[in-house]
Chains A and B, each alone.
Chain A
Amino acid sequence: MKQTLRRLPHARVDAGKPIRFTFDGQHYEGLAGDTLASALLANGVGVVGRSFKLHRPRGVLGSGKEEANALVQLERGEYTEPNARATLVPLYEGLEACGQNAWPNVHSDLFGALGLFKRLLPASFYYKTFMWPSWHRWEWLVRRIAGLGTAPQSADPQTYLKQNVHADVVVVGAGRSGLEAALEAARDSACRVLLIDEQEEAGGSLLASPSDADRAWLAAALREVAARENITRLQRTTVNGYYDNNVLAALERLGNHLGPAGAGPVRERFWRIFAGRVVLATGAIERPLVFPNNDRPGILLASAVREYSHRYGLTLGERIVFYTNNDSAWRTALELVEVGLPVTAIIDIRPAVDTALRQRAEDAGITLYPGTAVTNTRGRRGLRRLVLHRLTGQGEALGAPAGTLDCDVLAMSGGWTPTIHLYSQSGGQLRYRDGDACFVPERAHQAVTVVGRANGEFPEPLHLQPQWLTPGVSPEHQWVDFQYDVTASDIQLAARENFVSVEHVKRYTTNGMSVDQGKTSNVNGLGVLALATGRPIPEVGTTRFRPPYHPTTIGAYAGIELGGLYTPFQQLPAHAAHVAAGALFEDYGAWQRPACYPQPGEDEDAAVAREARAVRSAVGLLDYSPLGKLEVHGPDAREFLNRVYLNNIRTLEVGAARYGLMLNEAGIVIDDGVLVCLAEDHFLLHTTSGGASTIHQHLEEWLQCEWTDLAVIVNNATTQWATLMLSGPRARSVLQQLDSDIDVGREAFGHMQYRAGRLLGQPCRILRASFTGEVSFEISVPASCGQALWEALMQAGAAQGIVPFGIETLMLLRTEKGYLHVGADTDGNTMPQDLGWGGAVAKKPDDFIGRRSLSQPVGADPDRFQFTGLELLEPDARTVSGAHVLTAAGESTAGYVTSAYYSPNLNRSVVLGIVAGAREREGEVVTIFYAGRRQRARLVKPGAYDPAGEAFNG
C-alpha cells in the first residue's frame, strides 16, 4: 500500500480541506470527511496496532464499529482515551494518536517476539501458569505485558450531560431501512419519532455505495426527514443498552469530532430514552474467514474495502484479491472494478458460483479460483503473497496445492452477521438460519421490530457455504478473535478440556470478550466450537449480549453528578451567617452544618473545647434547624401516637411535652425525641436531627398500609422552621432581651415545657429541652427569619460572652452528660431494655409497634449490648468511637465504644458505649481494644458531668 492523497471521484471527503494529524509521532495529512483509519490507509500506514496477547502487528480490518485491530490511544494527558477505534474517530485538525500495546511503537514492538511463542501461550495459559505460589507473585508482570490502552491518570476536564427523552417510535440506525421506518412512522403527525444513528452522517451502508441512484435516494430521504417536524434526529449517537420497558441508553458524541481544542461546552450526552415502540435498523456486520495467518496487515473485510474505496476514495493497493464463501463479495469486487480498482482475483471456497456473476467477473479480467482455500499468508509487515490449496467436495478437506498468488490487499467475506445485540438485550429470541449461517430475530419480548439486514433481509441472496475454519492445516494460527488473540486451536482446546457451554468457552478462551464484544468473532467462534463438539450451531447456542453495545465513556455515566453535585445537599436557614462566622462545615447526612467555628490559630479540637467551656460557663448558640419537626393532625392522632411510641401518650395533656422512644416492629429503637401535645387533635413530634424524613415515612407507612381507618395526617414541617438552640447558664437572660409575648422567666417556663407565641414580630415556638445539660431554649421561627434571629441573638448575647457552637461541640457536651444519641449509641439490635426503658414498657397497658418483639427470647439474652458509661482508668487516656470492648478472656468482642471525647470541662475522657450485659455489671473493669492497643475502663452510669442534673434547671 503506498502513500496517496489523491482520492477517487465520488468520495465523500473534501479534497479542498486537508487536515494535519500525527500518529506515533509522525506527521500526516488527511482530508475532511476522513476517519483516522481512512487517513492512515491513505498515507500507507499498514501497521496500526499490536495484538493483545502476542503483540502481532495488525492493520485495519474493518471500517466501523466492528474494528478489532485499529485500537489507538487518542490524544494525551487529561484528554487521553484508550482503545479508540481508528475507524470511528473522525479526523480533526491536530489530532494526535498512538498505537497501543507496543513498545517503543507499533512498527517495531520489542514484545513482538511473543508471537514466536504462540504455542506456549494457549487459552488458559495465565490461569494455569501463574498459580504457583500465588497469582499475586506474578500479577505485576502480567499486568505490564497485558492490557490494551492506558487509562488517563488525571481527572477528565470535559463536561458530560445526561438527558431523558420520550418518543412514541424510536428508530435505531439511519440507513435505508431505518430512514424508511422513520418516515413511515412519522406519517402520523402526532407520533413523536426519534431517529438515532451512530455514524458521522446518516445513510448507513448507502454511504459506501458508488451508485448514483443510492446517493440520490439518500439525499431525498434526508430532505424529507428534515421536513417532518415530528422526527427528531440524533446523529453521532450510539444506542448502547436496551433495557426493560423499552428503556434505551445512548451516547451522543457532541464534541469528539472537533477534538479537545475545538469542542464546545459539552463533549458527550448520555441519553435515557423511553420508547413506545422501537425499530431496530442496525444493519449487519461482515465476518472474517478463518485461515492461517488471517490477521496479517492488508487483510480486510470486503465491506471495509468497499467503504474505503467508495466513501473515502482510497485505492488501498495495487493487487486486490477477494476471498469469500458467498456472493456478496463478488458484487463488491465488480463494483470496485467499475471505479477502476485493480482487482486481480477472486478465491472462493465454493466449487461452483452463480454463472452470471462468474461471467461478469471473467469479463472484468478477474482470475477466478473456485473451490480453493487460502492456507497461508506471507509478508513481513504487510501482505505480499497467499498460499492456496484446492478444496475437495464441499470444502470438507484440503486437496492439492494450488500455488501462490501475489497481492497486497485481501478482501475477505465469511458471510454476514445481523447486528442483533440490542434486540438480544431486549430479551428477544434468536433463530439460527442455516442458509445464511447467521442468527436472526425470532420472537420479540418487548415492543420492538427489527428491519433490513439486522433482520437477515439481505438485498440479494448470499448462496453462502459456511467454512468455520480451514481444514487440513494447523488451527494454531487461524485467528477467530483478532482483538484478544483467540485462535481456532484455543476453542478446540477448550472443547477438549470439556467446556461444553458456550458461555464457559467464551470465558475460558476470552473469545468475544474484548472491547469489541465479539462483533466479528462471535459466530465464527460458535462455528469452530460446533465442529469441535460435533453439534449443530443451534444446539451450541449463542452467548447473551449485554450492555453496553459499544464502550461508553465513564464520564458520561457520571454526568454532572461530580464534586459538589455528587449528591444533593441541604443548607441551613442561617448558612450565610455561619460562613461569615468562620464555620468549619461538615456533612451530616445531606445537611451542611458547622462542626465548630475555629478562630485564627485554632484547630478543630481547640475550637470545640473553647465552645464547650463557653456553653458551660456562659452561653452558646447552635443552628439546630435539622431537628426533625413532624406535625400529626386528626381525630385519631392520639390513638395513633400511642401505638407508635413506647411511652403512654393517652396521658399527655394539651400543652405538655414528653420524651419518647420509637421502635420498629422488630423492637429496635429507631428514634427518640420530645413530643408535644398542641391540641387534642394536633401533636408536634421532634425527631433526631436528619431523621425527620425517615420517621415521616415510617409513620405514613403504618397509616397507609396497616391502620388505614385512622384519620390522621402527618406533615414534615422541619424546614418550615429555623430552630436555634440557645444554651448555657446565661441563655435565659439573653433571650429575655428579645421582645416576645412569651414569658421565659424561670418560674413561668420550666424545663420540658413548650410555648408558642411571637418573637420580634414573628411567630415562634420555644421548647425547653436540654441536650447539653445546661438551660436550653430551642427557638423556632419561620425559616426565612432564621438568619435574622441568629443575628439578633448574637447581638443580644454579645455582652454575656455568647459564642456560636457547632455539632461536634454539641456531641461533646451531650457525651459529658451521658445523653443517648440514637444512631450513634445504639445499633441495629438495641432494644429499650438496653437503655433502661424496660420498666416503662412493662407499665404501658397498650400494644405499640415493636412491643411483641421485646418478649421474644432474644430480648431476654443476658449478653445483650447495653448502653453504659466507660471510665478510662489511666489518667489522661483517650479512646475513639468504634473501639472494641473485649470479653473477660480478651479473645472476642463484647461491645463497642460509641462516643468518646476529651472533656475540657472535666479534663478527662468521657466515653459511652454498648457493652454485653452492662446494666448488671456496673463497677466492673473491662478491656478496650483499638488499633493494637489495650486500655482498661470501668463500667459506670452514663453522665460524668453534673450527675445530679441541676444545671439545666438553672
Chain B
Amino acid sequence: MIRIECPWCGLRSETEFTCGGQSHIARPADPAAVSDREWAQYLYQRENPKGLHYERWRHTYGCRQWFNVARDTVTHEVRAVYRMTDPKPALGGEGA
C-alpha cells in the first residue's frame, strides 16, 4: 500500500486518495487555435515511465484537495509532494 503525505492532513493511506494521473498538463490557452492533433495530444497522450512519475492525487476522503506527487513507479517511493500551484521540482532519476 502506498502512503502519501497530504500537504494539509499529513501521512495517510492510499485508500483515502484518488489518483488523477499525470500532472503538469497545460490546457491550451485558446483551444480553438490548436490543431486536432494537438488537442488529442492534450487529451490523451500520457507518459508511462519506469521510474519517476509526476502525477496528481486528491485527498478525496480528507480535505478534498488536489496536489502533486512525484512517485517512483518501480519502488512506489513518494519522492516529493507539493501543491498544485507549486512548480515542478527537479528531482533527478526521471524515468525512461
Whether, in the assembled complex, B17 has its beta carbon less than 8 Å from a beta carbon of chain A, the answer is no
Contact A853 B43 (CB under 8 A): yes
List the A side residues contacting B30 at CB < 8 Å.
847
Contact A851 B31 (CB under 8 A): yes
Closest residue of B by beta carbon distance from A164: B13
Given the interface contacts A244-B2, A245-B2, A666-B43, does A704 sit within 8 Å of B66 by beta carbon? Answer: yes
Given the interface contacts A247-B3, A666-B43, A705-B56, does A852 sit within 8 Å of B76 by beta carbon? Answer: no
Chain B: minimal CB distance from A198 (Å): 22
- In the complex, identify which listed stretch (B46-54, B57-65, B88-96) lies at the interface while the others stay far away: B57-65
List the A side residues contacting B27 at CB < 8 Å.
665, 706
Chain B: minimal CB distance from A63 (Å): 34
Contact A244 B76 (CB under 8 A): yes
Contact B60 A697 (CB under 8 A): yes
Kindly identify, within residues 1 to 51 of chain B, every residue whose CB is under 8 Å from any CB belonging to chain A: 1-3, 13, 20, 27-28, 30-32, 34, 36, 39-40, 43
Kindly identify, within residues 826 to 855 of chain A, every residue whose CB is under 8 Å from any CB belonging to chain B: 847, 851-853, 855
Contact B1 A243 (CB under 8 A): yes
Contact pick for B66, options A244, A665, A705, CB 8 Å: A705
Contact A847 B1 (CB under 8 A): no
Whether, in the assembled complex, A857 has its beta carbon less than 8 Å from a beta carbon of chain B, the answer is yes
A473 CA to B30 CA, complexed, in Å:
81
Contact B60 A852 (CB under 8 A): no
Whether, in the assembled complex, A474 has its beta carbon less than 8 Å from a beta carbon of chain B, the answer is no
List the A side residues contacting B85 at CB < 8 Å.
708
A700 CA to B66 CA, complexed, in Å:
9
Contact A665 B43 (CB under 8 A): yes
Whether, in the assembled complex, B80 has its beta carbon less than 8 Å from a beta carbon of chain A, the answer is no
Given the interface contacts A706-B27, A847-B32, does A856 sit within 8 Å of B40 by beta carbon? Answer: yes
Chain B: minimal CB distance from A247 (Å): 5
Closest residue of A by beta carbon distance from B23: A705
Contact B39 A856 (CB under 8 A): yes
Contact A857 B43 (CB under 8 A): no
List the B side residues contacting A851 at CB < 8 Å.
31
A244 CA to B64 CA, complexed, in Å:
24
Chain B: minimal CB distance from A850 (Å): 10
Whether, in the assembled complex, A701 has its beta carbon less than 8 Å from a beta carbon of chain B, the answer is yes
Closest residue of B by beta carbon distance from A665: B43
Given the interface contacts A708-B84, A708-B85, does A847 sit within 8 Å of B64 by beta carbon? Answer: no
Chain A: minimal CB distance from B26 (Å): 9
List the A side residues contacting B2 at CB < 8 Å.
244-245
Whether, in the assembled complex, A76 has its beta carbon less than 8 Å from a beta carbon of chain B, the answer is no
A704 CA to B63 CA, complexed, in Å:
12
Interface residues as binary, B53-87 with A (CB distance below 8 Å gives 1, 0 otherwise): 00010101000111000000001100000001100
Chain A: minimal CB distance from B46 (Å): 14
Chain A: minimal CB distance from B93 (Å): 16
List the B side residues contacting A705 at CB < 8 Å.
20, 56, 66, 84
List the B side residues contacting A666 at CB < 8 Å.
43
Interface residues as binary, A438-477 with B (CB distance below 8 Å gives 1, 0 otherwise): 0000000100000000000000000000000000000000
Q: Which of A244, A700, A706 has the most CB of B within 10 A?
A: A244
Contact B66 A701 (CB under 8 A): yes
Contact pick for B58, options A427, A701, A706, CB 8 Å: A701
List the B side residues contacting A665 at CB < 8 Å.
27, 43
Contact A704 B31 (CB under 8 A): no
Chain B: minimal CB distance from A828 (Å): 14
List the B side residues contacting A445 at CB < 8 Å.
75
Contact B1 A245 (CB under 8 A): yes
List the A side residues contacting B66 at CB < 8 Å.
700-701, 704-705
A243 CA to B1 CA, complexed, in Å:
6
Contact A853 B39 (CB under 8 A): yes
A852 CA to B32 CA, complexed, in Å:
6
Closest residue of A by beta carbon distance from B36: A856
Q: Which of A245, A247, A665, A706 has the most CB of B within 10 A?
A: A245
Given the interface contacts A665-B43, A851-B31, A852-B32, does A704 sit within 8 Å of B1 by beta carbon? Answer: no
A568 CA to B90 CA, complexed, in Å:
42
List the A side residues contacting B76 at CB < 8 Å.
244-245
Contact pick for A704, options B40, B75, B84, CB 8 Å: B84
10 extra A-B contacts, CB within 8 A, seeds A244-B76, A666-B43:
A244-B2, A247-B1, A427-B75, A697-B64, A700-B64, A701-B66, A704-B65, A704-B66, A706-B27, A852-B39
Chain B residues engaging chain A, CB cutoff 8 angstroms: 1-3, 13, 20, 27-28, 30-32, 34, 36, 39-40, 43, 56, 58, 60, 64-66, 75-76, 84-85
Write 28 A-B pairs (CB below 8 A) sorted by A numbering: A244-B1, A244-B3, A244-B75, A244-B76, A245-B1, A245-B2, A245-B3, A245-B76, A247-B1, A274-B13, A427-B75, A666-B43, A697-B64, A700-B66, A701-B58, A701-B66, A704-B84, A705-B20, A705-B84, A708-B84, A847-B32, A851-B31, A852-B28, A852-B32, A852-B34, A852-B39, A855-B36, A857-B36
Q: Which 7 residue pairs spanning A and B have beta carbons closest together? A: A852-B31, A245-B3, A704-B66, A244-B76, A247-B1, A705-B66, A852-B39
